[in-house]
Amino acid sequence: MRLFVGVRPPDDVLDLIADLPRRAQAGLRWTTRDQWHVTLRFLGEVEDPTVVVDALDGIDASGFVACEATVGPMVETLSRQVVALPVAGLDDLAAAVIEATRTLGRPPVDRPFRGHLTLARLARSARGSARRLAGGIVGRPLSARFAASDVRVVRSHLGRAGARYEDIYVRHLG
């Protein structure tokens, strides 16, 4: 099954994100509220999710503590294909997850963690850039803070309407 480990912002932050203007545009697929999260580690295909749960449960509580995440300060493009909100403050949490799951799933990417919440993706067949197709949302200010009090092992079900996510396990942080 296709898995990732992530953090889900609380409802008050999701409400702020939901208030951003998102106009329909051919070639751009907006993510939905139930898809909004910050991926700490994408694992890809993992046969048995219990190995991921066991890896997270094996992290010492002193190194796996709640932290404050900061969203914003504005909507930006992560690449030519992704419109996102940056999320800071989760670096240590991501490092602990990456280290604990290093031998599971896809090998971890060899670049610094860049926390973000994806708002839209450019379709493979689209011409142009996500920045152009997203209209005036890029550069729009949005700032929020939240306590990241848990991490989730999430199963991603891919479909024509986009991914549907299912929490497999929630680990509360000390």
Residue for token pair 């066991």: 54
Q: Which domain CATH number covers 143?
A: 3.90.1140.10
**Domain span holding position 23:** 2-172
DSSP secondary structure code for residue 129 in this structure: -
Give the distance from CA 9 to its chain's centroid: 10
Q: What are the tokens at 27?
A: 């070639």
Treating both helix axes as pointing N-terminal to C-terminal, what angle do 50-57 and 91-100 enclose, rounded to 10 degrees? Answer: 120
pTM of whole model > 0.85? Answer: yes
Tens-binned pLDDT, residue by residue, of the chain (174 aa):
999 999 999 999 999 999 999 888 888 899 999 999 999 999 999 999 999 999 999 988 777 888 999 999 999 999 888 999 999 999 999 999 999 999 999 988 888 999 999 999 988 777 777 777 787 899 999 999 999 999 999 999 988 777 899 999 999 997
Contact 74, 139 (CB under 8 A): yes
DSSP-assigned letters across all residues of 2-61: EEEEEE---HHHHHHHHTS-----TTEEE--GGG--EEEEEEEE-S-THHHHHHHHTS-G
